[in-house]
């Protein structure tokens, strides 16, 4: 209950913050894209690890102009993938532990760079929270439901926009995402317990559309 309240407060703050800048903004960018994240591995012990496998994601971004070529951005991203495990006491080979859903809620800034052509390069940073939700657990490995966790995260991005007109553009983007503690799961089965938590990096790339409102 406390964790859900904190998430609600954080999202409410982001929405209020974005609304304030929306009122003052001279330009608003709305974008939607689909991408592919290349997974990440969190090692513990000598040869043990938890792994989020490759998977797709959807993302929506609302950007509000706050300065010359600078946008304040509110981002929501939804990823779905498999959570895998290899552990000497639980599974000698890599096996699926559960389905894994990741909800990213970030606030950040994006800088656009002038170009002589219809291409607009950009670079941005953001920070916020990521909600990790395991489900459909492998009952052969764990005899209990794994709990969801909410962790701080930050991200870097860069890419280019192909401007089809003053209103519509095609965006190509690459991301480096850093969940500070994505592997915080506790597994119990056959009298064995494992806890793993740490910082890692996830690479991703995506493409989508950008709509500009002046």
Q: Mean pLDDT in the chain?
A: 81
Inform me whether the pLDDT recorded for 190 exceeds 60. Answer: no
pTM of the model: 0.80
Rg of the chain (C-alpha set): 19
d(CA 80, CA 132): 10
49 against 58, higher pLDDT:
58
CA-angle at 60, arms to 31 and 8, nearest 5°: 145
* Local confidence band at 192 (pLDDT 50, 70, 90 cut-offs): very low
Give me the percent of the chain exceeding a pLDDT of 70. Answer: 79
In this prediction, residue 191 carries a pLDDT of 42
Residue 126: closest CA among 50, 164, 75, 69? 75
Residue 38: closest CA among 21, 50, 23, 56? 56
CA 126 vs CA 11, 18, 72, 152, 214: distances in Å: 15, 14, 10, 11, 24
Contact (Cβ atoms closer than 8 angstroms) between residue 26 and residue 214: yes
Lowest mean pLDDT among 46-60, 93-107, 134-148, 188-202: 188-202
């Amino acid at each position: 209950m406390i964790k859900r309240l904190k998430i609600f407060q954080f999202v409410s703050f982001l929405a209020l913050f974005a609304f304030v800048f929306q009122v003052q903004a001279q330009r608003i960018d709305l974008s939607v894209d689909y991408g592919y994240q290349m997974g990440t591995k969190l090692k513990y012990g000598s040869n043990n690890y938890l792994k989020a496998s490759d998977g797709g994601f959807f993302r929506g971004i609302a950007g509000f102009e706050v300065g010359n070529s600078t946008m304040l951005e509110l981002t929501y991203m939804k990823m779905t993938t498999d959570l895998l495990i290899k552990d000497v006491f639980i599974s000698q080979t890599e096996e699926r532990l559960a389905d894994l859903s990741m909800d990213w809620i970030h606030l950040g800034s994006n800088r656009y760079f002038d170009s002589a052509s219809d291409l607009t390069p950009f670079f941005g940073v953001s920070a916020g929270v990521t909600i990790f939700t395991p489900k459909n657990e492998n009952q052969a490995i764990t005899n209990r439901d794994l709990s969801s966790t909410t962790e701080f995260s930050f991200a870097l991005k860069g890419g280019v926009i192909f401007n089809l007109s003053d209103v519509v553009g095609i965006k190509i983007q690459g991301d480096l995402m850093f969940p500070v503690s994505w592997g915080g799961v506790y597994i119990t089965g056959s009298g064995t317990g494992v806890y793993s938590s740490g910082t890692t990096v996830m690479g991703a790339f995506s493409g989508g559309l950008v709509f500009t409102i002046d």
